[in-house]
Amino acid sequence: MSETCKVASERRGDVALLWTDGYINNQGGEEIAREAYAQLGAGARGLIMNLEKTKIVNSIGISILIEVLEKVMDRKGLLAFCNLTPTIDKTFRIMGLAQYAAIYPSEEEALKAVSEQLAAP
């Protein structure tokens, strides 16, 4: 599978929204990591990854997402995922990502929850 993964992002206060489009493999994962690290470097404390347009994540892609999660946790931030396919949702739960990063059915729910958690004392 050679489909490239495109990543777009936007800041909303302390939260950066990242939208992926395509296969998250090593190259896609690196694109996501670059964008996530840029947002963290610019002061974002929360990251929400909307995977609505991503249908497949391979093991290397997951390992890169775990690296992003570790960096977010090191900064005492929050990472959440939303709009996952049932297969990706199940994979993230099996791999343990859901223990440290919340999974929401929609971007709106993720943004509300992450913003509220970051605002809490």
The token pair that represents 74 in the structure block: 């090191």
Residues 11-40: pLDDT tens digits? 999 999 999 999 999 999 999 999 999 999
Residues 51-64: pLDDT tens digits? 999 999 999 999 99
Task: Give the Cα separation of 88 and 84 in Å (integer).
Answer: 6
3 versus 73: which is more confidently predicted?
73
In this structure, of 2-6, 44-48, 79-83, 98-102, the range with the lowest mean pLDDT score is 2-6
- Quote the Cα angle for 78-21-65, to 5°: 35
pTM: 0.95
Domains of the chain as residue ranges with CATH: 6-114 (3.30.750.24)
Sheet holding 46-53, edge to edge: 6-12, 15-21, 46-53, 78-82, 102-104
Residue type, 72: V
Q: Across the chain, what does the average pLDDT equal?
A: 96
